[in-house]
Amino acid sequence: MERYVQMLINISKAEAGFSLRRKDTPIRTFLDELYAQIGALASVKQLKTEFKEKDLPDIIRADVSLMQRAIINIVSNAVDYSPEHGTIWFSVSSEGNKIRFTVTDGGKGFSPEDLKRATSQFYQGDFSRNSKLHYGMGLFIADSIVKQHGGTLTVANSPATGGGMVTMEIHRK
């Protein structure tokens, strides 16, 4: 019941727009906290994690807790759809005034319908999943947070792994 109530609160916040509290944060601090959370999620299914960083700025200007939440929502989906003992790849890079976060898994990837509707509220593409902990809100909330940061969220299939690949891109300042 508590998770259901929290989900309803999250839905209303996502629909209304989250209240951003942007601040300058050292990127290293942001990523170290994020990597610890990703590692904890991946360990549940004994997944390996590979992290890649390229051309990072010293500072990220964002609402750190909301950005971490958006990324963790995406990673949680990647964990759910990865085969046990598989790998989750997380990359972060910067180009110009943008910073890009990409989560890739080794699962079966998104169906054509998933690619169109994955960020829609309550959309659950894999009906074989009957977990009571999933309500089709993770990518919807992540997309809302990214849009609040003036960015974009893209859902695709990885040409390298065939698994799902979700990319978030925001302005770094």
Instruction: Please state, in angstroms and rounded to a whole number, the distance separating the CA atoms of residues 170 and 128.
Output: 33
The pLDDT mean for the chain works out to 82
What is the number of other CB atoms lying within 10 angstroms of the CB of residue 98?
A: 15
Give the integer Cα–Cα distance in Å for 135 and 155.
Answer: 18
Q: What is the mean pLDDT of residues 106-119?
A: 76
Is pLDDT at 53 greater than 60 in this prediction? yes
Phi, psi at residue 86, to the nearest 5°? -80, -160
Percentage with pLDDT > 90 across the chain: 55
pLDDT at 119: 59
Please name each of the domains of the chain with its CATH number: 2-10+23-171 (3.30.565.10)
Evaluate if residue 17 carries a pLDDT over 80: no
Six-digit token string for 67: 């950005």
- Residue 124: which of 112, 109, 139 has the closest Cα? 139
Mean pLDDT of 114-124: 59
